[in-house]
Structure 1
Amino acid sequence: MKTLMKRLRAFALSGIIGVGLLGSFPALAAKTTLTVGAAATDVGTLDPHYATSTSDRTLVAWIYGALVRFAPGSTDPSTIEPDLAESWQVSNDKLIWTFKLRTGVQWQAGYGEVTADDVVYSLEKSRDPKRSAFSADFAAINKVEALGPHTVRITLSRRVPNLLGLVTNYAGGFIICKKAYEERKDRFGRAPVGFGPFQTQSIVAGQAVTLIANDKYFRGVPKIKTINYRFMSNNAARDLAFAAGELDASAGLANKSWLQRTTSIPGAVVDVFYPAELTLLHINITKPPFNDIRVREALAYAISTQKIAEYRGERFTRAPKSVIPSNNLGYTDNAGVFPYDPAKAKALLAQAGYAKGLTFTMLSSQLPEYETTAQLLQGQLEESGINVQLQPVEHTSWHQMIRKDLSPVVIYGAARFPVADIFLTQFYHSSSIVGTPGAVTNFSHCNVADKQIDEARTEADPAKQVALWQEAQRLIIQNVCAIPLTETSQVWVHNKKLNWGFDLKGSMSLGPLVTEQTSFSD
């Protein structure tokens, strides 16, 4: 007993001494390593002109910059501001755009100054279908020229709804290093070089990407020094890791049970932000049995989008009213979406020769959001005699397979620059049909609204332009090229000690931006 008391007194004394000495030590340094949980199994590519998956888009936005950018935390085109370009001028006919570049902006990895030649090379690559997944967006560009080391001129063959939207920090607008791309070639997708706030240090396949601060970033040295971007496609594992403090931020799930669990975690802050991704069921109208419009109509009548939205949770999901996102210029909520009517669905199937029911196979992404939607859809269609056999595929492989036209029906969620022309062109114009030279994401082989989409691009009267876009939406729904399923905002969670550095209302990269201002509080 005496020995125990001596030990306790010694322990107490050491504690007192320790406390007394604390004042002589400097304050603990602020945390500078950010650990993020991604709902993915691996990197697809960090070549920004091929980065189409949500996870890849989030990463490339931290690595690259563009001529202009959305203000951090926003998806509103009115907030577009200078990035590499410090200023620009446009001709009266809106066909010639001249951009003055900042001087002294440095590439990562010691590749020197960013110049007009890099911009020309990047935009030429973006509009080349052999080197870009977004070439259709740049079809109106006739010529890109360097007028000097820091001046770029873009000449259009026709007016476009928003040229700045094409050259912003999104999709094909990102600028890459010409020298690095030519040197690294096929390796560039996993060894990228940009001029953004963070650069790639390492990639461990299937495990993580490590990024480090770009100390030469022209806006200032980032406060975060290291980002560990961990691949955690399993929802439960990702949630447990966040709850245990192993993750500072994580991709969330757009469903009520996840929200309830997550908001009960001490210090958890849920981020719900734009753009809302519009998820549609794209139907290949050229393949039997879907080349029969009665079958397509039966699918439309058999789906209750309201029930899907209620299941997911009204904080972030709503039933869509058209085949383009509701935040798009040119959107209409009077596009003629089919009402839920299982009896009508069964009658149409019978008329088409499927009185005993219809069975088909659909490739299904294993990404949690897609997987849940596919299962909900499967259950609803079964009530109308439609049996969907789901074939689960890892998300990155799924992206590759659906672009090879390997599934007659495709569930696909997307958000694009918020002007109707972009979404309509990529998903419903015949120039974007998968498997063709200009292929983008027209999985339905739709061509019923080409005339309206084309005419709207060059229409000078804003009211007439919007009317054409709205007519296109009605035609696409009338012909059941696609069935709107959900419109869902982006959902993430972060620890309250993490400060993004801006008010997160939106992010075109589909994940929060990490900028030079992102930091941790004590």
Structure 2
Amino acid sequence: MFNRLTLVAAALMAVAAPAYAAKDSITLGMVLEPPGLDPTSGAAAATDEVTYANVFQGLTRFGPEGQVEPDLAKSWDISPDGKVWTFHLHKGVTFQDGSPFDASVVKFSLDRINAPGSTNAQKPLYAEIEKVEVIDPLTVKIILKAPVGDFAANLAWGDAEMVSPKSIKDEATHPVGTGPFMFKDWVKGDKVDLVAYPGYWGEKPKLKKVTFKFISDPTAAFAAMMSGDVDAFPNFPALETLKQFENNPRFKVMIGNTQGETLLSMNHRNKYLADIRVREAIAHAINRRDIIDGAMFGYGTPIGTHFPPFSKDYVDLRSLSAYDPALSRELLKEAGVKDLKLRLALPPPAYARRSGQIIQQELKAVGIDVEITNLEWAQWLSQVFKNHDFDLTIVSHTEPNDIGIYARPNYYFGYDNPGFQGLMKRLTVETDKTKRAAMLREAQAIIAKDYVNGFLFQLPKTGVANAKIMGLWKNAPTQANDMTQVYWKD
């Protein structure tokens, strides 16, 4: 009898075992679908949110608190003059198509950034690279024209991740990297599936499958979380419902920081917006508190320049563009502008659409008529970012330490200030931390006093997840959903 009962119990346990097995897959919600999956050939943050640290890796990477860490390079040496960086690579690394990763791939990847016809969105970050030399398969030397104070951090951007010469032609639709997860499929308009790469060179991830589910509508995002169709939403769009998740033990809410300066960007190619008085008038017509309360339900930190408020080098310049509609009307009168009509092009995120409605009314109150056009993300990238066909737009710039974009006269908002450009050139080659800090403070003041854009708020990271999910980033020091340390708690 004892043996029979034991066998029955063992059989029952065997049948029940799968129910208690640790979960090894996860579905993440994302508001925006990437237009492509090659982070080295475009500007969309959503591309990095899927691929950064998961599919692709760089010589260095950003950690969860923004620290620069070794990645495919296990270490590096810097010459005394700061112009020669020698990287020592990990041994035995392969791409997910089986091809080897070595120093020749580093040369290929970095040369490709600055090659004629390159569509890399951050080419200026790597403009000081003079040449890349292969010393041996595991050693590569990068020679700079001049020292670059943030070079290790620049290499941590998704734009500098390593790509395989063998698979480069299909990278946008079928990405192949060296990371712990490999691309499985992409159902356009719905999801991207990644699966664990069996040949991964480093610490194996605990998850076997990651699905990124694209849900742009806040109501649908709430329903998906509540039903369990989505396990986590690292940047949850339905902020008005966060209290419901906070009061439900099934979930956890994670409020953190991002690098996302949210702007009312102005096109300086428009003859009216080229006038600093008109830009200042627009800035004084905007009530940041109305936007944060009305569009963000109280989440977000007001800003007065393009720099994260949690940075030690941040300067609070909000007073320069304080809410003052009477001053706005005076400035417009001084500029001789009456019955101004402007086009406001809005991308899909809820923060942009909701902020746009509020700003439309606030500008109307000072005599500026704003026509809103809602664009899908691919449309926004083509029409606004690439072709500069807009007057105003609202978008969060989530790239880390990106104040240097104001030194690019061909950038989408078209700010052209030679003095600022010279300052950024000096900052690039400056290695002294005290001097760099002073330059960053000066840069913040220049763009605030030039009223380049309407500086609205720092985008918060509002994450919602199943309470049993561990390892998700609370903060977003870069555009990433790093799944390498994520697991389900028993």
TM-score, normalised via structure 2 length: 0.91
Is residue 373 from structure 1 mapped to residue 355 from structure 2 by the alignment?
yes
AA matched with 2:59:
L
- Give the Cα separation in 2 of the matches to 1:70 and 1:460: 20
> Which runs of no fewer than 5 residues in structure 1 stay unpaired?
1-16, 435-440
Shift of 1:119: 0.9
Match of 1:496 in 2: 467
Match of 2:102 in 1: 115
Match of 2:372 in 1: 390
Please give the secondary structure, in 1, of the residue aligned with 2:200: coil
Kindly report which structure 2 residues correspond to 1:161-310, keeping only aligned pairs within 5 A, or say none.
Answer: 161-168=149-156, 170-181=157-168, 185=169, 187-253=170-236, 256-310=239-293
Please give the secondary structure, in 2, of the residue aligned with 1:464: helix
Post-superposition Cα deviations, 1:376-395, rounded to whole Å, max 9, x if no partner, equal 22222222222211111101
Shift of 1:482: 1.5
Match of 2:3 in 1: none
Post-superposition Cα deviations, 1:91-127, rounded to whole Å, max 9, x if no partner, equal 111111100101101110222x211111111111223
Kindly report which structure 2 residues correspond to 1:293-372, keeping only aligned pairs within 5 A, or say none.
Answer: 293-311=276-294, 316-328=299-311, 330-334=313-317, 337-355=320-338, 357-372=339-354
Q: Between 308-317 and 139-148, report the one with greater CA deviation.
A: 308-317
- Give the Cα separation in 2 of the matches to 1:46 and 1:258: 31
- Give the Cα separation in 2 of the matches to 1:405 and 1:353: 25
- Give the Cα separation in 2 of the matches to 1:285 and 1:129: 27
The one of 423, 426, 442 equivalent to 1:452 is 423
Match of 1:425 in 2: 404
Is residue 125 from structure 1 mapped to residue 112 from structure 2 by the alignment?
yes
- Give the Cα separation in 1 of the matches to 2:248 and 2:302: 29
- Give the Cα separation in 2 of the matches to 1:325 and 1:265: 31
AA matched with 2:410:
I
Match of 1:521 in 2: 489
Give the direction of change, closer, same or farther, for the CA distance of 1:328–1:396 in structure 2 (3 Å limit): farther
Please give the secondary structure, in 2, of the residue aligned with 1:97: strand
Give the direction of change, closer, same or farther, for the CA distance of 1:57–1:478 in structure 2 (3 Å limit): same
Please give the secondary structure, in 2, of the residue aligned with 1:145: strand
Give the direction of change, closer, same or farther, for the CA distance of 1:478–1:496 in structure 2 (3 Å limit): same
Match of 2:46 in 1: 55
TM-score, normalised via structure 1 length: 0.86
- Give the Cα separation in 1 of the matches to 2:297 and 2:225: 24
Match of 1:154 in 2: 142
The one of 34, 44, 64 equivalent to 2:35 is 44
Shift of 1:341: 0.3
Match of 1:67 in 2: 59
- Give the Cα separation in 1 of the matches to 2:483 and 2:155: 20
Match of 1:5 in 2: none
Match of 1:144 in 2: 132
Contact kept in structure 2, 1:215 and 1:222, CA below 8 Å:
no
Match of 2:387 in 1: 404
Aligned length: 479
Match of 1:507 in 2: 476
**Who wins on radius of gyration, i.e. which is larger?**
1
Please give the secondary structure, in 1, of the residue aligned with 2:22: coil
Please give the secondary structure, in 1, of the residue aligned with 2:212: strand
- Give the Cα separation in 2 of the matches to 1:89 and 1:24: 54
Post-superposition Cα deviations, 1:259-309, rounded to whole Å, max 9, x if no partner, equal 223324441112223324111122222322112222111101101113322
- Give the Cα separation in 1 of the matches to 2:245 and 2:362: 28
Please give the secondary structure, in 2, of the residue aligned with 1:87: strand
Give the direction of change, closer, same or farther, for the CA distance of 1:424–1:252 in structure 2 (3 Å limit): closer
AA matched with 1:377:
I
Shift of 1:22: 2.7
Post-superposition Cα deviations, 1:471-495, rounded to whole Å, max 9, x if no partner, equal 2222222222112111122222110
AA matched with 1:465:
R
Post-superposition Cα deviations, 1:400-444, rounded to whole Å, max 9, x if no partner, equal 2112111122322113333xxxx2322x114x523xxxxxx5544
Contact kept in structure 2, 1:38 and 1:233, CA below 8 Å:
yes
Root-mean-square deviation (CA, aligned residues, Å) is 2.4
Contact kept in structure 2, 1:44 and 1:396, CA below 8 Å:
yes
- Give the Cα separation in 2 of the matches to 1:518 and 1:323: 32
Contact kept in structure 2, 1:276 and 1:488, CA below 8 Å:
yes
Is residue 33 from structure 1 mapped to residue 33 from structure 2 by the alignment?
no
State the percentage of identical aligned residues: 27
Give the direction of change, closer, same or farther, for the CA distance of 1:447–1:395 in structure 2 (3 Å limit): farther
Give the direction of change, closer, same or farther, for the CA distance of 1:349–1:211 in structure 2 (3 Å limit): same
AA matched with 1:373:
S
> Which runs of no fewer than 5 residues in structure 2 stay unpaired?
1-6
AA matched with 2:368:
I
- Give the Cα separation in 2 of the matches to 1:353 and 1:323: 29
Shift of 1:330: 4.1
